Structure 1
Amino acid sequence: MLRVGAHESIASGVYKAVNRQLDDGGNCGQIFTHSPQVWQDPNIGDDEAEQFRDLSSENDVGPWVIHSSYLVNLCTPKDDLRAKSIDSMQKEVDAAAKLDVPYVNVHLGAHTGAGVEGGLDNAASALDELEIPDGVTVLIESDAGSGTKLGGDFQHLADVLAKSDQDLDVCLDTAHMFAAGYDLSTPEAVDETMQAFDDVVGAEHLKCVHLNDSKHECGTNKDEHALIGEGYIGEEGMRAFVNHDLIEDVPLVLETPTEDGKGFAWNIDRVKKLRE
């Protein structure tokens, strides 16, 4: 079964995300547990957590992913930011366990002068400080690769998985991959890119895809999402990607914009029509 959904709001209660997902035609999805722009703890009551679990189960919506705060920087050499990042991630994996959400997604962050190897070492050791509950897995997300941000190169993902003692997996973002220089605009390019991922990281580690088109050309390191099939990846590339053998059983989560009257529902329907 095709698992496709969107990143939904938890406004007025985390369980509201389930109904929003159903309204958009999705059957899996992603949430923030709080505003991603500030340091804030998840504040999810027992009753609303139970409603979220029950509604998801009753309507066969899942898997869900929690996206960590944008402020988290696992690669940082700064002790205070590292401590805040670890604390934030611990609260996210605990919230995931409370909600029966199997995945917490996180960007590696920026090394800000520590160097690539130093940043990757920092990220792995920060992740090793987490007490990850049973049934929860941290997913390292691929990045667009601008500045000193790490995760744009598949090797960065593989290195963190190898360096860490945790059982980690990966979330690929199509717009980020494309921005980082991995072409997805033709069937041949999709084959080449996904073979590279399998060779470097291993397809068995791919547990989620953020499915987004790109408003910028391949290799620009510019992270700006476009409607499915209407960016530089385009319809041909998106069709090839969602039908690729390595994607067949991987949940697809949309973080597409709302433009020209086209929101999540339109994009989810587009993906369903592209899937052959």
Structure 2
Amino acid sequence: MKVGAHVSISGSRVSSDDETPPYDDIRNAVHRQLAFGGNCGQVFTTSPQVWAQPEISEEAAEGFKEETDDELEGPWVIHSAYLVNLCTPKEDLRRKSTESMQAELDAAERLGIPYVNVHLGAHTGAGVEGGLDNAAGVIDDLEVPEDVTILIESDAGSGTKLGGKFAHLAGIIDRTETDIGICIDTAHTLVAGNDLTTPAAVDETIGRFDDEVGLEYLEYIHLNDSKHDVGTHKDEHALIGEGYIGEDGMRAIVNHPDLRNLPFALETPTEDGRGFAWNIEKVKELRED
């Protein structure tokens, strides 16, 4: 099973060698993933709250690739900065979003990471069709490395944000000339109006996704429970099995024949002393042979 967490690269470089000086390093992600019991996962290459370029030395990039190949099973994914808005009609924000995405794609190529995950963003008055056209334009302006794929993440669908409906995901695939994939966030999918609380509901939702988008585009899953119910459009993650999706829904998701072989990355909270290690172990307990 490919399951892991969104881990930080910040802080002192963790090493078994006491003589190694402390420094911030992308290689910290590998150690932290292993410490949580994960074998794949997600990272930010920079602070997601500011416009910043990834700063990764050649030594760190090569070390990250080697340690990943030696220690982990599944693929990493880079999550783009929160400020990126592919749908925006504003030229300055479009330019900054394009530059940020290009930097992440270039970093992914250097690190041997096959995916860069991004939200469509908000159309802010351009309308659904206009927003999707804007997003496709940004994607097609990017120079996507041969071994890297852009993943569009499903959204909770509040306000003018796009990605909450499967039709939005299908719409961006239809508009762009670039080969892209989809990352489904289970919490976002639930609160956007798609039931995932029972095996029958999971089957129905996956069937609709296949009909409207196509399972061949689904590359990664953000596995999160939700603190809010179906259709509320409130994005707040819960511990695995302890939110509105619950154990029955989560068990159905991680064992579904169309999903079980995909990589799962958790973005779950830390509550009551239970963090990523607890959540990953919970997922493994729900998995059936």
TM-score band (shorter)? over 0.9
Say yes or no: does 1:176 pair with 2:188. yes
What amino acid maps onto 1:8 in structure 2? V
Alignment of 1:4-43 (within 5 A): 4-11=3-10, 12-43=24-55
Say yes or no: does 1:51 pair with 2:63. yes
Cα distance in 2 for partners of 1:250, 1:154 equals 19
Alignment of 1:54-203 (within 5 A): 54-203=66-215
CA RMSD of aligned residues (A): 0.6
Cα distance in 1 for partners of 2:258, 2:213 equals 13
1:243 corresponding residue in structure 2: 255
Deviation at 1:245, TM superposition (A): 1.1
Cα distance in 2 for partners of 1:70, 1:39 equals 9
Contact kept, 8 Å, 1:32 with 1:67, in 2: the verdict is yes
Please, which moves more after superposition, 265-274 or 56-65? 56-65
1:231 corresponding residue in structure 2: 243
Contact kept, 8 Å, 1:18 with 1:61, in 2: the verdict is no
Deviation at 1:28, TM superposition (A): 0.3
What amino acid maps onto 1:133 in structure 2? P
1:270 corresponding residue in structure 2: 282
Cα distance in 2 for partners of 1:95, 1:20 equals 20
The percent identity for this pair of structures is 65
1:34-90 superposed Cα distances (whole Å, 9 cap, x missing partner): 010000000011001111000000113430000000000000000000000001000
Deviation at 1:206, TM superposition (A): 0.6
What amino acid maps onto 2:59 in structure 1? D
Please, which moves more after superposition, 192-201 or 57-66? 57-66
What amino acid maps onto 2:7 in structure 1? E
1:210 corresponding residue in structure 2: 222
SS in 2 for 1:245: coil
Cα distance in 2 for partners of 1:149, 1:128 equals 20
Moved segments of 4+, more than 3 Å:
none
1:143-168 superposed Cα distances (whole Å, 9 cap, x missing partner): 00000000000010011011000000
SS in 2 for 1:166: coil
Q: Gaps (5+ residues) in structure 2?
A: 11-23
Deviation at 1:248, TM superposition (A): 1.8
TM-score, scaled to structure 2:
0.94
Cα distance in 2 for partners of 1:123, 1:231 equals 32
What amino acid maps onto 2:228 in structure 1? H
Cα distance in 1 for partners of 2:151, 2:64 equals 21
Cα distance in 2 for partners of 1:135, 1:62 equals 15
Cα distance in 1 for partners of 2:73, 2:111 equals 13
Contact kept, 8 Å, 2:37 with 2:277, in 1: the verdict is yes
Cα distance in 1 for partners of 2:257, 2:208 equals 14
TM-score, scaled to structure 1:
0.99
Deviation at 1:246, TM superposition (A): 1.0
SS in 1 for 2:106: helix
What amino acid maps onto 1:253 in structure 2? A
Cα distance in 2 for partners of 1:61, 1:196 equals 30
